[in-house]
C-alpha cells in the first residue's frame, strides 16, 4: 500500500481539508471528484449588489475552508426529510430518520446513569439536600456525594465562575481517578476542565499553530474536529494513513515518511494526533504500538495529542485501553521526556452525556511559562460549565463496591456496554455480508467504517450528480431508508477507496430493521449500478 502514498497525498488535497494550503505546498493536481460539502463557489453569492457589509467574499477565509462532515450536507438533507415526514407521514418510504451520523447516544434513547443525574440535580438545587422528602427521592450516596462536591466548591456556589482550570477539588478527584486507572501519579494542576473535548483541542491548536507552515500529523481517516480546527487556526494538516488491511493499523514507518515529506516541503510539524480507540475506525491500539508512538514523538520532538475520549468503549476481550501517559511512564519517561496532552469527555463512554459538555485535558511535559500561556487563554473564557465539571469528576470516580448505588450503577453501565458490544457485532456482520462491502471489527469507540467497492457505473452516476461517490451512496441510502451515515470523504480515505461512518448507537430493538433496510437498499443499489 505504501506505493500509493504520493498519489494519496496529492489526491487528498482536493478533498475536505486544507486543500488550498496543501495545494500551495505540494502543487497538487485536482481530483476529479467534488467534495460532498457545499463548495465555496456555491456558498458564495455575488456581493456588489449585496445590502450586507459581511459577505462570503470578505469573511475570514479560514472559516470558509473549514468543514465538518458530521453535521454537514447529509444532516441538513435529513432534517428536511424529517420535517416532510412530520407534515406528511407517507411522504417517504420510511417512518422516521435514524441518525447514525454522530456519536450522540442519548438522542437515540440511551438512558443516563441514574447516580450521575441524582448528584447533578442535587448540586443544581442544594436547598433540597436536607429536606426529608429528598431521602425518598435520591440514593444516600448521591446525597453524600453532592455534599462532598459542594464542600469542594468555594462558598458552595455552583453558580459562580470557578478557577479557570476548573474547581480544584474536582480536579483532585479526577487526578485520583487517573492515578487509579494508570497506576502512575497525576497532578490536579495538570488538569484543565473544558466544555467537552472540542474546546480543549482548539486551545492546543491555537497554541501550536503560528502559520500554514506549522503542521499537525493527523490520522486518515480522522475525526473532522481535527481538520476543522487546524483549518480554523490556519495550520497544515499532515496526513498519515491508517492501514485498513491490518485493521486500521498505525505504522511508524508511515509516520516517518509523512513527517519527512512535510519537512521537505518546509512544514514544521508540531504535534501528532492519535485517536485511541479510533474514530471513525474503531480500532484499539496495542500497547507495543503505543510505545513506538511515544518513542517517535520523543525522538522527533512532537507533542502527542492523545484523543482518549473512548477509553471506556472497548468491546473485545483481547484488547484493553491504555492511556498514553501510562505507556510513557511505564517506559520510564517523565515530565522532561515527552509533551503529552490527553483529552477526555463526558460525552462518550457508557455515560454518553453529550449535552452536558464536560471534559478535560491533562497536560504533562510542558514548561511553566508555556503552561502560564495556556492558563491565560483558558482565563479569557473564564471557566467551563460547572455541571460539566461535576460530571467529569463523577465519570472519573463512579460509585464503588459497597456504595448504595453501586449495584444499580454497575448494572446500568454493564447493560449499556454489553448492548453496544452486541450492536457492533450485529451491524459489522450484516455489513460484511453485503456485496462489495468489507468492514473491520469495531474493537472500540462507537462507529463502524465499512469500505464499499463501488461499481464504475455508480462512480459515473455520482460524477454526473456532482457528488463524491461515497456521498452519492449515502444520500441514496438516506432517501431510501431514513438512515443517516456520513461519507468517508468527510474523514479522509485512501484515494479511490470509499467508505461511510455509521454509529452503533441505535437502540437494540431497532437494529434488525436497520439491517434489513440497509441490506435491501444495498442490493437494489448494486442491481442498478453493477458493472
Q: What part of residues 310-369 is at the interface with a second copy (CB under 8 A)?
A: 336-337, 339, 347, 352-357, 365-367, 369
Q: CB-wise, 157 or 252, nearer to a second copy?
A: 157
The set of cell numbers assigned to 159 is: 453558580
444 CB neighbour count, 10 Å cutoff:
27
**Contact between residue 494 and residue 244 where contact means Cβ atoms under 8 Å apart:** yes
Minimum CB–partner distance for residue 357 and a second copy (Å): 4
**Contact between residue 99 and residue 506 where contact means Cβ atoms under 8 Å apart:** no
Q: CB-wise, 172 or 243, nearer to a second copy?
A: 172
- Nearest to residue 67, comparing CAs of 495, 487, 485? 487
Beta-sheet pairing, 451-452 with 447-448: unpaired
Minimum CB–partner distance for residue 384 and a second copy (Å): 7
Minimum CB–partner distance for residue 361 and a second copy (Å): 14
Alpha helices in 316-396 (DSSP H): 324-330, 368-380, 386-395
Minimum CB–partner distance for residue 445 and a second copy (Å): 16
Number of chain positions touching a second copy (CB under 8 A): 104
> Of 138-167, which residues contact a second copy (CB under 8 A)?
138, 154-155, 157-162, 164
> Of 182-201, which residues contact a second copy (CB under 8 A)?
195-196, 198-199
94-98 contacts: CB < 8 A, separation 24 or more? 94/480, 94/481, 94/482, 94/517, 95/482, 96/482, 97/482, 97/484, 98/481, 98/482, 98/483, 98/484, 98/506, 98/510, 98/514
- Which helix (H) or strand (E) is 448 found in, with range? strand 447-448
Three-class HEC string of 122-144: HHHCHHHCCCHHHHHHCCHHHHH
Q: Contact with a second copy (CB under 8 A): which of 372, 414, 429, 520?
A: 372
> Of 209-228, which residues contact a second copy (CB under 8 A)?
209-210, 225, 228
Burial 102-121 (b: 16+ CB within 10 A, else e): bbbbbebebebbebbbbbbe
Minimum CB–partner distance for residue 294 and a second copy (Å): 14
Minimum CB–partner distance for residue 81 and a second copy (Å): 15
Pairwise CA distance, residues 470 & 476, whole Å: 10
**Is position 136 an interface residue for a second copy (rule: CB under 8 A)?**
yes
Please state the separation of Cα 137 from the chain's center in Å. Answer: 36
Sole window of 13-21, 67-75, 397-405, 416-424 interacting with a second copy (rule: CB under 8 A): 67-75
Is the peptide bond prior to 221 cis by the omega test (within 30 degrees of 0)? yes
Sole window of 49-57, 171-179, 418-426, 466-474 interacting with a second copy (rule: CB under 8 A): 49-57
> Of 425-464, which residues contact a second copy (CB under 8 A)?
none
Start-to-end Cα distance in the chain: 25
Distances (CA, A) of 183 to 212, 219, 395: 39, 28, 18
Pairwise CA distance, residues 332 & 328, whole Å: 7
Minimum CB–partner distance for residue 488 and a second copy (Å): 19
Q: Residues 71-90: x/- map of binding to a second copy (CB under 8 A)?
A: x-------------------
Q: CB-wise, 408 or 519, nearer to a second copy?
A: 408
**Is position 513 an interface residue for a second copy (rule: CB under 8 A)?**
no
Beta-bridged to residue 239, according to DSSP, are 218
Minimum CB–partner distance for residue 2 and a second copy (Å): 28
Q: CB-wise, 269 or 439, nearer to a second copy?
A: 269
Sole window of 2-10, 46-54, 241-249, 449-457 interacting with a second copy (rule: CB under 8 A): 46-54
Residue for cell digits 465562575? 161
Sole window of 1-9, 40-48, 308-316, 447-455 interacting with a second copy (rule: CB under 8 A): 40-48
Q: Contact with a second copy (CB under 8 A): which of 28, 206, 410, 419?
A: 206
**Is position 52 an interface residue for a second copy (rule: CB under 8 A)?**
yes
**Is position 131 an interface residue for a second copy (rule: CB under 8 A)?**
yes
Q: CB-wise, 213 or 421, nearer to a second copy?
A: 213
Minimum CB–partner distance for residue 38 and a second copy (Å): 8
The set of cell numbers assigned to 287 is: 500497547
Q: CB-wise, 364 or 440, nearer to a second copy?
A: 364
Minimum CB–partner distance for residue 355 and a second copy (Å): 4
Q: Contact with a second copy (CB under 8 A): which of 13, 34, 78, 102?
A: 102
Pairwise CA distance, residues 463 & 30, whole Å: 14
Q: Which residues neighbour 264 within 8 Å (Cβ) at sequence distance 6 or greater?
A: none
Residue for cell digits 491490518? 246
The set of cell numbers assigned to 497 is: 477507496
Q: Contact with a second copy (CB under 8 A): which of 1, 63, 180, 411?
A: 63
Q: Contact with a second copy (CB under 8 A): which of 30, 60, 83, 418?
A: 60
Q: Contact with a second copy (CB under 8 A): which of 320, 373, 418, 516?
A: 373
> Of 268-307, which residues contact a second copy (CB under 8 A)?
270, 301-303
Q: Contact with a second copy (CB under 8 A): which of 24, 117, 425, 510?
A: 117
**Is position 232 an interface residue for a second copy (rule: CB under 8 A)?**
yes
3-state secondary structure at position 236: strand
Q: Contact with a second copy (CB under 8 A): which of 12, 81, 120, 230?
A: 120
Residue for cell digits 512535510? 262
Pairwise CA distance, residues 256 & 79, whole Å: 43
Amino acid at each position: 500500500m505504501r506505493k500509493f502514498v504520493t498519489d494519496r497525498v496529492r489526491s487528498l488535497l482536493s478533498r475536505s481539508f486544507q486543500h488550498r494550503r496543501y495545494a500551495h505546498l505540494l502543487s497538487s493536481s485536482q481530483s476529479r471528484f467534488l467534495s460532498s460539502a457545499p463548495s465555496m463557489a456555491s456558498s458564495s453569492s455575488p456581493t456588489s449588489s449585496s445590502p450586507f457589509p459581511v459577505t462570503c467574499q470578505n469573511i475570514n477565509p479560514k472559516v470558509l475552508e473549514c468543514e465538518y462532515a458530521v453535521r454537514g450536507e447529509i444532516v441538513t438533507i435529513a432534517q428536511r426529510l424529517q420535517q416532510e415526514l412530520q407534515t406528511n407521514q407517507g411522504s417517504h418510504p420510511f417512518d422516521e430518520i435514524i441518525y447514525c451520523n454522530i456519536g450522540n447516544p442519548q438522542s437515540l434513547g440511551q438512558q443516563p446513569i441514574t447516580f450521575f443525574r441524582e448528584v447533578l440535580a442535587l448540586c443544581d438545587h442544594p436547598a433540597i439536600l436536607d429536606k426529608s422528602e429528598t431521602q425518598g427521592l435520591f440514593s444516600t450516596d448521591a446525597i453524600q456525594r453532592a455534599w462532598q462536591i459542594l464542600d469542594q466548591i468555594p462558598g458552595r456556589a455552583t453558580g459562580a465562575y470557578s478557577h479557570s482550570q476548573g474547581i480544584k477539588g474536582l480536579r483532585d478527584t479526577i487526578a485520583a481517578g487517573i492515578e487509579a486507572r494508570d497506576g502512575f501519579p497525576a497532578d490536579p494542576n495538570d488538569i484543565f476542565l473544558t466544555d467537552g473535548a472540542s474546546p480543549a483541542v482548539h486551545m492546543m491548536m491555537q497554541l501550536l499553530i503560528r502559520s500554514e507552515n506549522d503542521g499537525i500529523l493527523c490520522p486518515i481517516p480522522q475525526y473532522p474536529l481535527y481538520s476543522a480546527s487546524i483549518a480554523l487556526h490556519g495550520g497544515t494538516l499532515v496526513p498519515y494513513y491508517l492501514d485498513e488491511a491490518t485493521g486500521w493499523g498505525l505504522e511508524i514507518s508511515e509516520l516517518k515518511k509523512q513527517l519527512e515529506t512535510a519537512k521537505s516541503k518546509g512544514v514544521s510539524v508540531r504535534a501528532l494526533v492519535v485517536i485511541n480507540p479510533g474514530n471513525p475506525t474503531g480500532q484499539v491500539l496495542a500497547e507495543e504500538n503505543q510505545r513506538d508512538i511515544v518513542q517517535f514523538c520523543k525522538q522527533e520532538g512532537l507533542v502527542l495529542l492523545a484523543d482518549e475520549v473512548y477509553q471506556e468503549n472497548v468491546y473485545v476481550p483481547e484488547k484493553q485501553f491504555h492511556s498514553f501517559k501510562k505507556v510513557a511512564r511505564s517506559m520510564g519517561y517523565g515530565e522532561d521526556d515527552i509533551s503529552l496532552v490527553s483529552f477526555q469527555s463526558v460525552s462518550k463512554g457508557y455515560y454518553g452525556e453529550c449535552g452536558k459538555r464536560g471534559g478535560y485535558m491533562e497536560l504533562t511535559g510542558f514548561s511553566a511559562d508555556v503552561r502560564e500561556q495556556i492558563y491565560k487563554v483558558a482565563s479569557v473564557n473564564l471557566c467551563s460549565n460547572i455541571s460539566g465539571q461535576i460530571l467529569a469528576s463523577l465519570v472519573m470516580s463512579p460509585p464503588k463496591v459497597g456504595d448504595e448505588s453501586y449495584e444499580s450503577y454497575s448494572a446500568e453501565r454493564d447493560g449499556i456496554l454489553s448492548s453496544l458490544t452486541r450492536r457492533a457485532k450485529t451491524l459489522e456482520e450484516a455489513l460484511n455480508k453485503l456485496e462489495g462491502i468489507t468492514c473491520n471489527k469495531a474493537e472500540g469507540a462507537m462507529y463502524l467504517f465499512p469500505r464499499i467497492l463501488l461499481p464504475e457505473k455508480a462512480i459515473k452516476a455520482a460524477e454526473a450528480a456532482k457528488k463524491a461517490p461515497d456521498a452519492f451512496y449515502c444520500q441514496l441510502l438516506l432517501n431510501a431508508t431514513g438512515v443517516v451515515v456520513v461519507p468517508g470523504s468527510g474523514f479522509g480515505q485512501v484515494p479511490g477507496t470509499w467508505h461511510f461512518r455509521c454509529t452503533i448507537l441505535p437502540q437494540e430493538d431497532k437494529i434488525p430493521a436497520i439491517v434489513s433496510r440497509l441490506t435491501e437498499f444495498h442490493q437494489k443499489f448494486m442491481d442498478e449500478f453493477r458493472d
